[in-house]
Structure 1
Amino acid sequence: MNIFRRGHSWAVRFHIPRERRADVGRAYGAATGHKAEIVKALGTSDRAEAIARRPKALEAIRQEVDARLVAAGLPPLHGDWKPAWAFAWSEPEAVITEALEARKEIADASPVEDETDEVWVDAPNGGLRRSTMSTSERDRKISTLQDVLRDRVDELENAGKDADAYIKTFWPVAFGEATPLGELLDRWIRDIEGGLRRQTIMGHRLAFRLLGEFLMTQGTRFTDTVPADEQATAHIRATAIETVTKKRVGEFPEWLAQGRHGLSAKTIQSRISPLKTFWDWAERKGYSEANPWLGATTGLKKRAEQQKVAKAEERPFTETEIVALLHADPDEGKRWKYGPAIFDLLRLGLLTGARQNELCSLTRGRVIEPSAEGGLWAIRVTNDVAKTKNAQRLIPIHPLVQSILERRLASAGEEPDALLFPELPPGGPDGKRSWTFAKRFSEFRKRVLGEDHHTDFHSLRRTFLTYMEEANANGASACTELVRDHLAGHKPQSLAGSTYVAKQFDRGLYDRAILGMVEKGMPEGVRAAL
């Protein structure tokens, strides 16, 4: 254990490596020409205290031996090598973390002068004279920090490292001259994440990573220089918010469009949107005096509309396509567990207009059977799966697809949260049960309708609303615009509908709308196929 009792007190023994004993003996002028160990008193008779003092004593002896060797023109005991982690505190992320801690410590310290120190100052006639200086806790902390920084600069310079970069990073953060984006970004995410899905948060983080990549490659125009994702993230986190000006980021939209990313105008808007929102938040908190992203998306909306026209729009299914999908066997040529789910959800989607995940995540507790007074079966979209507040709603189930719910309920568990489609695994950032199903449905749709179709599962929702509109035009009085909005989970567009009219109508009105949609809005061929 490198310590032993010598009389009534304890001492420490430092062992010299065998291959260096001659060098150490020469440095110390040993009579025998070599030195195998160095023994020093620990100044205590308590064994526990001796063990506690041992590490510092051994380190002090090692430094003394190295100093003697260097003075004798010999290399230190273990050469000039230092482990990489010896300077871990000089890595950018560590520098910023420590600087932020120092900044908080300085800010928390009292600025009230509570001590008087005696100091030497210049005398009027030359020389020095004694004087007194009042200091506060904050003054003393700043003075201590400056001493630490001087020592670190010396250590970095002696090791051949960039001390100037260390100070330029640490100083402005510690003394409140700059605020790195990383700390603010973490606070902002904590503020907003409760009301957002993980996939949305991931999109926000992607926007900042792209900004970091842009700032790293700024000045190289649109070259193929691509920093690693981790480098770009670390760079934006270390960037001071004060340095992100409108002039500096003015080319960011152009870079996203023309660089290796080649993003569409609509996607560029979605990348800049969280940046603008973050800077709005930072401005309210007092960390930014101006939002550099104001006006950054000017012209993008018009360009997005032009690109949308050029690229064929997603649309409802035609009668021919729906009939083909309804007649197709999802399991044909591919025996897989998704066939029955595709068969059932295709029909439920067409007759309810519900979103994909609203149906894939259906549970026993969300199915409402008719009361003694009659009426249609229904499903309820609850807060945990609703896309928005308006999406929380009740949707009647037409008798044409009622048997699907009855069959699924018969094989589901008795608990309210028993799944009607347990074969659909959760996936994606938010664990949605529609994640994998969407891919399987896409394979089925392409096999039946071919590749050149701008349709997907959401097109069933578009088709449902189209049928509702046609039913209204054909005299189905319950299929009004406001009822359609309620059934689809949309916010009513008119002032009256969104402000003055009741948020929910009598259940029977929705039943009549669903029945009227099938009777007067759905093509005969589709009804026959169902």
Structure 2
Amino acid sequence: LEAIGKKPLSGDWVPDWATPEKAIEAGLHYRQQIEQASDDYDPAEGLNPGEAAEGAPESEREHVRSVVTDLVLEASETLPSPADGTRYFKTVMGVVDGTTTPLGPLLDRWERERDQTISKASRAMDAAAINHFAAYVAEHEGQTLGITVKDPMQHLRAKGLESLELRMLGGFTEWLLDSAGLTAKTVGSRVSPLKMFWDWCIRKHIISGPNPWDGATRGLKQQAAQQGKSRPKRREFSETELLAILKADPDQRRWAWGQAIRDLMPLGLLTGARQNELCSLTVDRVVQVPGGELLGIGVIEEDAKNSNSIRRVPLHPLVRPIIERRLAAAIATGEPDAPLFPECKPGGPQGKRGYYFSKRFTDFRRDVLGRASDGLVAFHSFRKCFGTYMRRAAVAGVSECQLSVAQKLMGHKPQTITETTYMEAEMPWPVYEAAILGMVDKGLPESVRAALNQKAHTETFKDR
């Protein structure tokens, strides 16, 4: 067989119908046939009414189950090794008898429910957790059972929920920390979805409690805090760093994405918006509030990190030309929801428009500030600058730049019950306008303001 390019009848080879997924499909098919069979069937022909042959099935359902058992047994005996045959028989008959509940269909049901209540970001975390768990189960069974798993996810989906031993589940956290090399904080985010999935299974009465993941993350917060002490904290750009990256011209260096980098930096600095919020701007998210003097941008639920992030932010006159230029180009496409940054294509597990831009900005930042800036500053540092300059302006006497207004503009949750329960959800637009204008006037370093002024004049001249 090997000589003619076929798979040998030994080693890891199994026929397609014997793969875990196919075994589950067979079990579900046979189970449906058995459930549809009648309870009134009398298989003993030629006997008096009510009389049954010794050892014969007493109903059509029992007869069908007997036939199914024989078929599955015969199929299992044709497999290359006794271990393969035993595994196939147990998988199929476990589904038939209801003693094995395959994870695949359960995960599909759970994910459909989750899609209705959580964000794309949370769903991506679910997927990451299941992928890591699949890799762990495959590695664990490879070591303990001596089997080779080619597709960990397919293998996991074929596993019976009841077959996952507590001792194996208990080693997952340790595996994530040691073998997968994840930080304690990330480990917590991988275990949490599994705990929620098991909670869901318990609520659906698929399994009984207690949840085996209860307490699995105990101690991780302390580990994360300890790990955090050894890592530098992400901070805002210094004045020198800001001037360096604002004055560096991406088009004259070796990067693509030059125009996007040049446009998004001032927008990030003067709106405090997150990277993906800016990259995802479309024609209909540029707003002109009735009676307002400044143009604004809107962050909708689709791109918001959470419900507090849904907001509108005024645009300072220094960055308005950027939006107007890109808005005109987007409108010219004729699409009502055309993106303002079409070069920012969706990417990554969550399909975010900021995914690829993040990588290109990292290249740009390293080239201008050096690799020593890794872990210290990133595009998010513009947002930190925004918060810092808001506070400076408030100290300088701009009352509209107080903390409660800055929280609204940055999309942060109010910190007190008074704010969340007894105060208006949105402040008047003129308050936000005054905060943006005051932040630039009283909070921004004069050198940075001058650099942005020069940049704005250059852009306006180019447009003309």
- Please give the TM-score of this superposition, normalised by the length of structure 1: 0.74
* Structure 1 pair 424–248 and aligned structure 2 pair: CA distance change class (3 A): closer
2:417 counterpart of 1:498: no
The answer as to whether partners of 1:391 and 1:489 remain within 8 angstroms in 2 is: yes
Structure 2: segments with no counterpart, 5+ residues: 1-7, 453-464
Deviations 1:41-83 (A, max 9, x none): xxxxxxxxxxxxxxxxxxxxxxxxxxxxxxxxxxxxxxxx999
Aligned-residue offset at 1:162:
4.6
What root-mean-square deviation, in Å, do the aligned CA atoms of Structure 1 and Structure 2 show?
A: 3.3
Aligned-residue offset at 1:99:
0.8
Q: Distance in 2 between matches of 1:481 and 1:318?
A: 22
Aligned-residue offset at 1:497:
2.2
Residue number in structure 1 paired with 2:287: 368
Q: Distance in 2 between matches of 1:436 and 1:115?
A: 65
Q: Distance in 2 between matches of 1:257 and 1:220?
A: 19
Aligned-residue offset at 1:185:
1.3
1:394 partner SS: strand
The answer as to whether partners of 1:368 and 1:380 remain within 8 angstroms in 2 is: yes
Superposition pairs of residues 208-227 of structure 1, within 5 angstroms? 208-218=130-140
The answer as to whether partners of 2:72 and 2:92 remain within 8 angstroms in 1 is: no
The answer as to whether partners of 1:179 and 1:240 remain within 8 angstroms in 2 is: yes
Residue type at the aligned position of 1:152: A
Selected match of 1:100 from 16, 23, 28: 28
Residue number in structure 2 paired with 1:183: 105
Aligned-residue offset at 1:293:
1.0
Residue number in structure 2 paired with 1:444: 364
Q: Distance in 1 between matches of 2:82 and 2:14?
A: 13
The answer as to whether partners of 1:118 and 1:132 remain within 8 angstroms in 2 is: no
2:17 counterpart of 1:89: yes
Residue number in structure 2 paired with 1:399: 317
Q: Distance in 2 between matches of 1:409 and 1:469?
A: 31
Q: Distance in 2 between matches of 1:220 and 1:160?
A: 17
Residue type at the aligned position of 1:501: M
1:215 partner SS: helix
Greater RCO (Cα-Cα under 8 Å, separation 6 or more): 2
The answer as to whether partners of 1:172 and 1:178 remain within 8 angstroms in 2 is: yes
Residue number in structure 2 paired with 1:427: 347
Residue type at the aligned position of 1:498: T
Aligned-residue offset at 1:130:
5.8
* Structure 1 pair 117–442 and aligned structure 2 pair: CA distance change class (3 A): closer
* Structure 1 pair 171–465 and aligned structure 2 pair: CA distance change class (3 A): same
* Structure 1 pair 422–141 and aligned structure 2 pair: CA distance change class (3 A): same
2:265 counterpart of 1:346: yes
Residue type at the aligned position of 1:422: P
Q: Distance in 2 between matches of 1:226 and 1:332?
A: 56
Residue number in structure 1 paired with 2:407: 485
1:177 partner SS: coil
* Structure 1 pair 165–423 and aligned structure 2 pair: CA distance change class (3 A): closer
Aligned-residue offset at 1:315:
1.2
Superposition pairs of residues 501-516 of structure 1, within 5 angstroms? 501-516=423-438
Aligned-residue offset at 1:346:
0.5
2:297 partner SS: strand
Q: If you compute each CA radius of gyration, which structure gives the higher value, 1 or 2?
A: 1
Superposition pairs of residues 237-248 of structure 1, within 5 angstroms? 237-248=157-168
Deviations 1:301-345 (A, max 9, x none): 1111111121111111122211222222222333x5522221111
2:315 counterpart of 1:387: no
The answer as to whether partners of 1:116 and 1:133 remain within 8 angstroms in 2 is: no
1:187 partner SS: helix
Aligned-residue offset at 1:450:
1.5
Superposition pairs of residues 273-292 of structure 1, within 5 angstroms? 273-289=192-208, 290-292=210-212
* Structure 1 pair 430–252 and aligned structure 2 pair: CA distance change class (3 A): closer
Q: Distance in 1 between matches of 2:137 and 2:346?
A: 37
Deviations 1:241-296 (A, max 9, x none): 1122433321211122222x222111211211211111111111112223211111
Q: Distance in 2 between matches of 1:420 and 1:329?
A: 21
Residue number in structure 2 paired with 1:301: 221
Q: Distance in 2 between matches of 1:446 and 1:211?
A: 35
Selected match of 1:520 from 427, 442, 447: 442
2:40 counterpart of 1:114: yes
The answer as to whether partners of 2:102 and 2:157 remain within 8 angstroms in 1 is: yes
Report the identity percentage.
43
Q: Distance in 1 between matches of 2:426 and 2:166?
A: 47
Q: Distance in 1 between matches of 2:362 and 2:14?
A: 54
2:343 counterpart of 1:417: no
Structure 1: segments with no counterpart, 5+ residues: 1-80, 122-127
| More off after superposition, 375-384 vs 208-217 | 208-217
The answer as to whether partners of 1:116 and 1:132 remain within 8 angstroms in 2 is: no
Aligned-residue offset at 1:173:
1.8
Residue type at the aligned position of 1:522: L
1:218 partner SS: helix
1:475 partner SS: coil
Q: Distance in 2 between matches of 1:220 and 1:118?
A: 48
The answer as to whether partners of 1:117 and 1:132 remain within 8 angstroms in 2 is: no
* Structure 1 pair 144–479 and aligned structure 2 pair: CA distance change class (3 A): same
